[in-house]
Amino acid sequence: MYSLYLEETLFPVAPAKISLKIKNQNATINLINESEVNILKSPGLTEIGFKVLLPNSRYPFAQYAGGFKPPNIF
């Protein structure tokens, strides 16, 4: 089991899946001998995606820092 924090906020139920998409700025060049060369640059912004359950009532599997909090807090 793991916990999900965004900054200092603990989400009560951790998502089943978190996806990361790193946008790169790399370029590919075709050479005369028909081979390719990659020109690596620093990565761009990273997109983080997840779906999270925000319970409206207390569940035994949910984790709360300092007691139950309603979903509108998050």
State how far the Cα of 16 lies from the Cα of 29, in Å rounded to an integer: 39
Cβ neighbours of residue 52 closer than 8 Å, sequence gap 6 or more: 4, 11, 13, 14, 15
Structure tokens at 3: 């916990």
Range of the domain at 54: 5-73
> Residue 29 in 3-state DSSP?
strand
Percentage of the chain with pLDDT > 90?
Answer: 22
pLDDT exceeds cutoff 90 at 18: yes
> Residue 71 in 3-state DSSP?
helix
pLDDT exceeds cutoff 90 at 1: no
Structural domain count of the chain: 1
The answer to whether the pTM exceeds 0.75 is no
- Model pLDDT, residue 8: 86
